[in-house]
């Protein structure tokens, strides 16, 4: 009898460990694999290609629940849209994004700059301060607000577009996050991303880049 009890306890221990490992694997797989390697920007559906300037820029929205699994935070849930920026410099001289302005332009012409970590954290904190009401029978239990964490800072540190210079014959990629609160359930329809003040090696500003998101939407399953 003792042997059977011991085996049952050991089996439960193994089961608990396996369940814990599976949960950890599920949590880590949500962001550890990262986005796929960036390709030449000219190969993406939503791209603006300047042949004479030898520069192509693409924008790939991460607008689905499946795509945002690479992050530690579900930004869509908080009305922030991650957009992957891919810049390919096929010329022989570097280009500079030190003074670049990259704005999301809504269908109504609203100019939305990229969000900072504080912007995201502020909205998450406001939501968390309200706590959560869990229905239990005829009453509702109000849970305590969540404590702040560094997941947003970690995501921005790991994924945010940070290349101030794109070297010759090089592709650089990273994410910018845009506040789409108030733009409805389809913020990409009729919207675009506009790049200004990208400069060549001599400090001369390149012609502005404009990427309509309808190009991207046309390639997505209905």
Domain identity same for 22 and 62: no
Domain identity same for 195 and 154: yes
> Residue 203 is part of which domain span?
40-217
pLDDT at 150 over 60: yes
Domain identity same for 2 and 87: no
Mean pLDDT of 176-183: 96
Domain identity same for 124 and 72: yes
pLDDT tens column, 111-136: 999 999 999 999 998 765 555 555 55
pLDDT tens column, 10-57: 434 433 433 333 334 444 444 456 899 999 999 999 999 999 999 999
Calculate the alpha carbon distances from 191 to 61, 77, 117, 185 in Å. 12, 20, 23, 13
Domain identity same for 152 and 211: yes
93 contacts: CB under 8 Å, gap ≥ 6: 168, 200, 201
The pTM of this model reads: 0.78
The whole-number pLDDT of residue 221 equals 83
In a domain, residue 35? The reply is no
pLDDT at 200 over 90: yes
Bridge-partner residues for 212, per DSSP? 192
Domain identity same for 48 and 146: yes
Burial class (CB in 10 A: 0-12, 13-18, 19+), 101: middle
For the chain, how many structural domains are there in total?
2
The whole-number pLDDT of residue 185 equals 87
């Amino acid at each position: 009898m003792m042997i059977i009890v011991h085996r049952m306890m050991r089996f439960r221990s193994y089961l608990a460990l396996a369940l814990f490992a599976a949960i950890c694997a599920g949590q880590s797989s949500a962001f550890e694999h990262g986005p796929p390697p960036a390709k030449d920007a000219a190969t993406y559906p939503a791209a603006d290609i300047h042949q004479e300037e030898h520069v192509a820029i693409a924008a790939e929205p991460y607008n689905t629940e499946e795509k945002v699994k690479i992050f530690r935070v579900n930004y869509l849930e908080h009305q922030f849209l991650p957009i992957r920026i891919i810049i390919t410099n096929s010329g022989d001289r570097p280009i500079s994004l030190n003074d670049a302005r990259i704005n999301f332009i809504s269908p109504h012409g609203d100019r939305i700059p990229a969000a900072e970590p504080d912007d995201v954290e502020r909205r998450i904190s406001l939501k968390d301060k309200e706590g959560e009401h869990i229905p239990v029978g005829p009453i509702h239990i109000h849970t305590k607000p969540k404590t702040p964490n560094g997941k947003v800072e970690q995501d921005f540190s790991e994924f945010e577009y940070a290349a101030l210079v794109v070297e010759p014959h090089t592709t650089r990629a990273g994410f910018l996050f845009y506040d789409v609160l108030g733009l409805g359930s389809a913020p990409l329809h009729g919207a675009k991303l506009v790049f200004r003040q990208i400069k060549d090696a001599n400090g001369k500003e390149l012609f502005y880049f404009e990427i309509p998101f309808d190009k991207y939407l046309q390639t997505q399953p209905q």
